[in-house]
Amino acid sequence: MVVKFLDLKKQYLSIKQEIDSAIFRVIQNSAFIGGDEVLCFEKEFAEFLGEGVKTLGVGNGTDALEIAIESLNLPQGGEVLIPANTFVATAEAVVRNGLKVVFVDCGRDYTLDIGDLESKITPASVAIIAVHLYGQSAKLNEILNLAKKYHLKVIEDCAQSHGATYNGRRVGTFGDVGAFSFYPGKNLGAFGDGGMIVSRDFDCLQRCREIAHHGGLSKYEHRIIGRNSRLDGMQAAILRVKLKYLESWNARRREIAGLYLEGLGDMLDIALPEVKPSCICVWHLFVIRTLKRQTLMEVLRKNGIEYGLHYPLSLPNTPAYAPFVKGIECKNATCWEDEILSLPMGEHLEDKEVQKVIEVLKDTLCG
């Protein structure tokens, strides 16, 4: 038995009829860019998030972040505080906007460490990106308080947290602007690239719309220098189908996380992920830490269990971003690079597969 890290084919087969007819509908209507499917998905995703947010479909999650940041008109060269441990896109979006990244260490919940965050705020700071990593919200109360105190903008990177909540409210609805990715492997994934910008500020979203649509709100209007970034009709139609299942898929992820937490709870060699009481985590990834990673990876491989590393290097230690680091340490992020290990996670998993992962890990560590 192979235990898959991700099984998109199984997911497709479970909703095949609906997906096939959605794709057929798009072909029949031939509204490939823009059109009703995109408008409906934007509306349905906004309703899903609640709090009166407005939404704008774009080409992918990286574009969503980049355009969201651009819309805030931050002063060139300003410093944006981001976590050291995140997917590289968070940093790319900052640097590509002519801003500087300042890396902040992560806490035991793998999101921004608040003490380190405040210590790195300077007069040049302009914004914070709260990344809701692995499916769990960052510590938004503290982040929003710091942002208020130091007059900083807050951008939420929700690429890994579709449906996650903080104090009962969905992530993406807290900051000045938020960005989602619909990369196929995400909790809500398209059949290609896709992204969404969300904001409660209508003007901010209109600026995003102009940027993403060649600098204007209508065809051949170019008020500002824009670019092209669009969610296409086919992806929107597919995402509309999948959105109906997101809650139940996330609930299944929580059940699996429960099995791991219970099954591995007494393993001294494993540090389990910590969930804050204020959060409902949607478990995009289930990441453990262990000093015995090399051994565990070999045993998992031998037993046909797929795993991942998120991320093999924290950003300050990558060749691209090392030059941005001026002796500022991110101790946890650096130390945990060699310890983190992502176990299979997703609604595709059967209980018996999760139990197999638990048994293999236990046998190796106890045997």
Residue 185 CB, shortest distance to ligand PLP, in Å, is 8
Query: Which residue is nearest to ligand PLP, using beta carbons?
Result: 61
R_g of the chain, CA atoms, integer Å: 21
Exposed / middle / buried, residue 35 (Cβ in 10 Å: 0-12, 13-18, 19+): middle
CB of 351 to ligand PLP, least distance (A): 27
The dihedrals phi and psi of 108, each to the nearest 5 degrees, come to -70, -15
What is the smallest separation between the CB atom of 222 and ligand PLP, expressed in angstroms?
A: 25
In the complex with ligand PLP, the residue whose CB is nearer, 236 or 354, is 236
When the beta carbons of 186 and 356 are compared against ligand PLP, the nearer one is: 186
Closer to ligand PLP by Cβ: residue 243 or 259 = 243
Contact 132, 158 (CB under 8 A): yes
Residues 89/66, Cβ–Cβ less than 8 Å: no
Q: Beta strands 177-181 and 153-157: pairing type? A: parallel
- Which residues sit at the interface with ligand PLP, rule CB under 6 A? 60-62, 65, 86-87, 89-90, 131, 157, 159-160, 181, 183, 193, 195
Question: What whole-number distance in Å separates Cα of residue 162 and Cα of residue 176?
Answer: 18
Q: Where are the beta strands (DSSP E) in the chain?
A: 54-58, 79-83, 100-104, 125-131, 153-157, 165-166, 169-170, 177-181, 195-199, 279-280, 286-289, 340-343
Q: Which is nearer to ligand PLP, 116 or 193 (CB)?
A: 193
- The least CB distance from residue 55 to ligand PLP, in Å, is 15
Catalytic residues: 186
